[in-house]
Amino acid sequence: MCRHLGYLGPPVPLRSLLFDPPHSLATQAWAPRDMRGGGTINADGFGAGWWPPGAEAPVRHRSAMPIWTDTTLPVLAGVTSSGAVLAAIRSATVGMPVVETAAAPFTDGRWLFSHNGVIRGWPSAVAALARDLPVDDLLTLDAPTDSAILWALVRGRLRSGQSAAKAVAGVVTDLVDVAPGSRLNLLLTDGRQMVATTVGHSLSVRPGRDSTLISSEPLDTSAAWQAVPDHRLVTATATEVEIIPLLST
């Protein structure tokens, strides 16, 4: 069920997140270890977004192909460094299209967003929540998928001035109510902070002295990885990580 990761810290080559670690995102595409709720591989596309040093907004590369079929990316990722990265690989939910625009990260201005999971009862389960969205948002959705509408809901709250943590936690708790059984691991960053949730899927964090990694599965065997329990909200910068129960937000 999709995998994602976020990194904040000193600039590192994208390759050191996507390809080099023993259990890198590229390895998780064909040999994930903790797929909860179905799916065996993540071959329905991938995406990476990152801030080039000094840039205001992130750059994004997405594809509908399995990450291992892109033979140029490992080379480019070896010469592209960033201190803020969000990357994802996709296992499409049955019935949802395998197209480039359905692959995370979704973006808007300085934001990058990813969803790992599924909305139960899609699409009728979200009808009540989507009614509050401007029709322009619905007409310009990246793709007809649950993740794209989740992004529209989070983005709407961000645009109305909510903090990243409040926007993400608000959308997730609303959905837990109207679509019980959904799997809602969200990941949002603006390059300075990351917000993540766990509802129904695995997530680990690796806090470091000057960097933070958040990943669906640990990238290596370092003892610094901490598994995040279910129903948690993670907020992080490069130097601080806080994990609190979702429902206390």
Q: What residues make contact with ligand GLN under the rule CB under 6 A?
A: 1-2, 39, 90-93, 96, 102, 115-118, 145-147
Quote the least distance from Cβ 202 to ligand GLN, whole Å: 12
State the burial class of residue 41 (Cβ atoms within 10 Å of its Cβ: 0-12, 13-18, 19+). Answer: middle
The sheet that has 59-63: what strands, in order across it? 59-63, 46-50, 81-89, 3-13, 212-215, 204-207, 226-227
DSSP-derived pairing of the beta strands 212-215 and 194-198 = unpaired
Q: Which residue has the tokens 């129903």?
A: 231
Q: Which is nearer to ligand GLN, 78 or 144 (CB)?
A: 144
| Measured distance CA(112)–CA(106) in Å, rounded | 6
Q: Which residue has the tokens 């192909």?
A: 65
Q: CB-based contacts of 29: which residues, under 8 Å, 6+ apart? A: 3, 41, 42, 43, 46, 66, 67, 68, 89
Q: Which is nearer to ligand GLN, 34 or 57 (CB)?
A: 34
Quote the least distance from Cβ 84 to ligand GLN, whole Å: 22
Quote the least distance from Cβ 139 to ligand GLN, whole Å: 20
| Measured distance CA(106)–CA(247) in Å, rounded | 25
- Tell me if residue 83 falls in helix, strand or coil: strand
Known catalytic membership, residue 2: yes
What are the tokens at 180?
A: 């019980």
CB 216 within 8 A of CB 34: yes
The closest residue (CB) to ligand GLN is 2
Quote the least distance from Cβ 145 to ligand GLN, whole Å: 5
User: Which of 2, 73, 84, 238 is an active site residue?
Assistant: 2
Quote the least distance from Cβ 94 to ligand GLN, whole Å: 9
Q: Which is nearer to ligand GLN, 148 or 246 (CB)?
A: 148
Quote the least distance from Cβ 43 to ligand GLN, whole Å: 11
Other Cβ atoms less than 10 A from the Cβ of 69: the count is 11
Selection from 199, 26, 4 nearest residue 105 by Cα: 4
Selection from 138, 69, 142, 77 nearest residue 104 by Cα: 142
Catalytic residues: 2
